[in-house]
Chain A
Amino acid sequence: MIEHLPILQVVVPMIAAPVCLMLVNRRLIYLFSLAVCWLSFAISVALLGQVLDQGMIRYEIGNWPPPYGIEYVVDPLNAFVALFVTGIAAVVMTYAPKSVAVEIPEAKQHYFYALFLVCLTGLLGIALTGDLFNIFVFLEISSLSTYALISLGNSRRAPLAALQYLIMGTIGGTFFLIGVGLLYQMTGTLNLLDVSMRLRELALVDEEGVYYFQQTRTLRVALAFMTVGLAIKMAVFPVHNWLPNAYTYAPNVVTSFLAATASKVAVYALIRLIYTVFTVQFAYDLLPMRFELIVLSLIGIFAASLAAIYQTNVKRLLAYSSVAQLGYMILGVNMINPSGLTGAIVHMFNHAIIKGALFMVVGCFAYRLGSVQLDDWRGAGRRLPWTSFAWVLGGLGLIGVPLTAGFVSKWILLMAFVSNENWILAGAMLISSLLAVVYIWKVVEVVYFSEPSPKVLESKEAPWSMLVPTYVLITVMIFFGCHTTYSAGIARRAAFMLLGVPVE
């Protein structure tokens, strides 16, 4: 059993999804999905433990050896990604029923559970598979289920937001597929490790031992297509415009899960592509990708943070903040040193927890107040003290205040920038944290220092079934702000592995 963990991780939610549709009782569907999510989490914990003990695991599906069959490759990096994806899924699922009950029409609720599991399957598949085409397939699985999940929202604009995402997402998926095709044309294989080896064969080594490549136009185009495709999925600055609408109009549960996991998995895919498949020398020497990604992330960080400041819809505010935070991860990825990569990976993890928690807080407010407009939250601190305080804590994490997980990732990234003597990036990151103070505190002030709005006056504290999972995530966030062996420690291992240097 234990050797089948890599495939079980993906197959369990996949099989469970259609089962959800067969169950009749809504309560039963919930309990079943909940069990599946926690089971997936347990699998991912076991898998991570196994990887940390034994090193990389290669699992041949159906015993077909690669390159004929599909292979799952699990290393510290993607086991770590699977861990937080399933972890967030489990917590969000625990939190879900009350929120789903008010935000999704009754007739569609069972679809929610099924689609949620399909989406989870897709994300886990992207993380664990060692096959390029398989990545595309899972990318589409997760995207298609996401479109449907977004359109479940009560708002009349939800289907439009879903359509907008559908168009962008399809372009992204297609670009990725074109890239995969070109790469296949050049290397004759789809297995990630195989592609990587073939690419090295294409490379020539000059007298000084430096790689250089010949006839690489096809490869360059392939890399460019795949990067743009993933960038759309990640919502990197100029191709981010689907994200605010999608996050705003999706049901809160869906937004919590997507915001925490979906874009992170795309970042993971990019890291995999640059570091494992193409190698740093290729990706960064032959394409001006590094410079471009850094500039775009910087613009994204500032533009999105500024946009967040001016939002009056709290979900949209957090959505813009997500675009900005993603910029940090991209910056870290582009540092090409262990510290920067560690920062990027750990920020994926930490930001997943923080953003998940914050959107869950929004869900708590929305459950009681029926609104995510800041104006309706006036004075909520008195009627919903626990919910409001959760916002403060989560917000401090997002700002990156010490003793929260956000600080850990910012500190590591800062050290990476400074050790590269990249003062502009260091300054930019610190200044943009201050913008986060502005948009988080804007909400805090409205919640605590305004006279209660009519909606607040007739409401009370959010139900415990929602608050407890929210506080679980908040606690986890504070835990990983103090103790980082299992966050930064693992991220560091993954970073050293990707760069092919032994851990110091």
Chain B
Amino acid sequence: MTQDQLLYASLGLPLLALVLNYLFSSSPNLRDTTTVVVASFLLYVNVSLASLVFSGERVASELFEMVPGFKIAFEIEPLGMLFALVASSLWILTTIYGVGYMRAHHEENQTRFFGCFAVAIFSALAAAYSQNLFTLFIAYELMTISTYPLVTHHGTTEARNGGRVYLGILFSTSIGFLMLALAWTYQIAGTLDFQLGGILADAYASERVSTTQLTILLALYAFGIGKAALMPIHRWLPAAMVAPTPVSALLHAVAVVKVGVFFVLKVSVYVFGIELLHHSQISVWLCYAAGISLVLASLVAMTKDNLKARLAYSTVGQLSYITLGAALATPNSVIGGGMHIAMHAVGKITLFFCAGAIYVATHKKYISEMKGLGRQMPFTFGAFLIASLCIIGLPPGGGAWSKWFLATGTVERALDGGQTHFYFLTAALMISSLLNIAYLIPIPMQAFLGKPDVPTEADAHGHQSAHGHHDSIQQHDDHSNQEHSSGEAPLACVIPLCCTALGSVALFFVAGWIYEILLPITQK
């Protein structure tokens, strides 16, 4: 296949999955098998694409002009390719996991569920391949819309409220700030095409824009890209946790949030250009905003007893690492940020898979109820432990490397021109990692070493009312409490989470390769 064909095959396969989903909706087995097959094809296509892109070939294609002067066009660069690879490989595992999870839960509307999933993957890929801000923006918005039905899948009042926050924050930031930022960028630069070295650099060099204006523009981007969940616009992410766990896993640990931080990195590298950000100092405030966000989010995560909520806040914190990488704008920090997209994706999806598996097997979603579960579910909690290491940044988790490069970035900035205050950010990274340990490691530890509480009927009841905002899943699945009371979750759930846990370790050893492939984006 030619390069163009590969590119469009990569974009078309998720849509094919969508169509096949609806065609075979009457036969769930056939439907889910085709999705897995299509997803595998997609991975194959993406690997072929990646081998082209990483060997330095230019894969680009223009689709059509949507509005006079603004076209939908794709050009794959290393960062986008890496993101696409992560998203497409995790899609296969999530589909398998999703089948296990959704069926164990007897969820309704599974066809719509997997259909929307495919559209979300499509928009993630379109975002990854986009050649200009316009295309990226459209893919970004499409993703918001396609994931809304997933977030509100249960159709309950709680789902509605979660969906309201989700859509409200994501739409208001993207329409209110991001669209304005795009229009302004076009006004300044005369183009929205991504360019290594940044499209705003010329305007800045010729003093057509002031630093104040650029700072405001950067703020419009930073807060307009709501999916990057920089505090204080992170609230949609915990709200999205009302979704079934496969959604939280792939979308709110990988696709949706990563599109956000990917957007931030693209803006930093290809719109402003790291040279400009570095020399004009306009992103210093963003470094601190991200620094504060990552420490605060970790602190909030510690207070959450609901496992998914804790993981959601952990995600908020980890996304801020990537935003920090983009804002620091040194070669190492940008590579660290890009790398963390992959590392965090694999680590966090494992944690969510585990959370879902625990829920499927035991119907427990509060950490305080999970003592002693490790003996019952050794694989799940083992995977949880390994993935935790990845998130924390301890070897042999892949996260060690990305955090290392980010820390190096802060030190570089600190040494550069005597801006020693950047050491505060180095400290923030360290503190945050310690906090990560504090909120993640106790979970598997208590599961393996703790003794299960033997709750009386009344206790269990009291606990429920203490956590007043109970998920609706609880209600219509209580009947299956008995049959799952012992052992691991279904194999379709356990195998994917073991795979991703192993993946997070494997990434530790291939970090050098990732560094190599990301290196070109830091060189003008």
Q: What is the interface of chain A, defined by CB distance below 8 A to chain B? A: 396, 399-403, 408, 411-412, 414-415, 417-419, 421, 426-427, 430-431, 433-434, 437, 441, 445, 448-449, 482-484, 488-489, 492
Contact = CB atoms under 8 A, between A and B. Distances in A.
A419 B187 contact: yes
A255 to B, nearest CB: 27
Nearest to A410: B179
B368 to A, nearest CB: 31
A402 B138 CA distance: 6
Interface in B170-228: 171-172, 175-176, 179-180, 183-184, 186-187
B157 interface: yes
A492 B70 CA distance: 14
B180 A482 contact: no
A408 B66 contact: yes
Nearest to A415: B183
Given A396-B145, A402-B141, A448-B155, A427 B68 contact: no
Contact of B64 (A411, A431, A483): A483
A336 B157 CA distance: 48
A344 to B, nearest CB: 15
A449 B175 contact: no
B179 A414 contact: yes
B67 interface: yes
B175 A433 contact: yes
Interface in B155-171: 155-157, 159-160, 164, 167-168, 171
A430 B175 contact: yes
Contact of B156 (A437, A449, A492): A449
Contacts, number: 74
28 contacts: A403-B142, A408-B66, A411-B67, A411-B70, A411-B179, A412-B67, A415-B183, A418-B180, A418-B183, A418-B186, A418-B187, A426-B180, A426-B183, A427-B176, A430-B179, A430-B180, A433-B175, A434-B176, A437-B168, A437-B171, A437-B175, A441-B164, A445-B164, A449-B152, A483-B66, A484-B65, A484-B67, A488-B67
Given A400-B175, A403-B142, A449-B155, 8 more contacts: A418-B180, A430-B179, A430-B180, A433-B175, A434-B172, A434-B176, A445-B164, A483-B66
Contact of A427 (B156, B167, B180): B180
A418 B220 CA distance: 15
A339 to B, nearest CB: 9
B64 A482 contact: yes
Nearest to A434: B172
Contacts of B68: 484, 488-489, 492
Contact of A402 (B137, B159, B160): B137
Contacts of A448: 152, 155, 160
A426 B187 CA distance: 13
Interface residues of B, number: 30
Contacts of A431: 176
A-side interface mostly? helix
Contacts of A396: 145
Interface of B: 64-68, 70, 137-138, 141-142, 145, 152, 155-157, 159-160, 164, 167-168, 171-172, 175-176, 179-180, 183-184, 186-187
Contact of B171 (A415, A421, A434): A434
A396 B149 CA distance: 14
A399 B186 CA distance: 22
Nearest to A379: B155
A279 B465 CA distance: 71
Nearest to B176: A430
A67 B115 CA distance: 63
B486 to A, nearest CB: 36
Nearest to A448: B155
A483 B157 CA distance: 38
A430 B176 CA distance: 5
B145 A401 contact: yes
Q: Which 6 A-B pairs have the closest CB atoms?
A: A449-B160, A402-B138, A418-B183, A402-B141, A418-B187, A414-B183
Contacts of A492: 68
Contacts of B179: 411, 414, 430
A415 B152 contact: no
B66 A482 contact: yes
A403 B164 CA distance: 22
Contacts of B155: 448-449
Contact of B184 (A411, A418, A488): A418
Contacts of A434: 171-172, 175-176
Given A414-B179, A430-B175, A484-B68, A402 B184 contact: no
B184 to A, nearest CB: 6
Contact of B160 (A418, A419, A427, A445): A445
Nearest to B156: A449
Contacts of A417: 183
Nearest to B70: A411
Contacts of B145: 396, 401
Given A434-B176, A441-B167, A489-B68, A415 B186 contact: yes
A419 B145 CA distance: 29
Contacts of B159: 449
Contacts of A437: 167-168, 171-172, 175
Given A430-B179, A441-B167, A449 B157 contact: yes
A41 B184 CA distance: 40
A414 B180 contact: yes
A399 to B, nearest CB: 8
A427 B142 CA distance: 22
B141 A401 contact: yes
A402 B137 CA distance: 8
B140 to A, nearest CB: 9
Contacts of B138: 402-403
Nearest to B155: A449
A29 B169 CA distance: 51
Most chain B CB within a 10 A radius of its CB, from A411, A482, A488 = A411
Nearest to B72: A482
A421 B141 CA distance: 25
A75 B137 CA distance: 35
Contacts of A402: 137-138, 141-142
Contacts of A426: 180, 183
B185 to A, nearest CB: 10
A137 B319 CA distance: 64
A74 B180 CA distance: 37
Contacts of A427: 176, 180
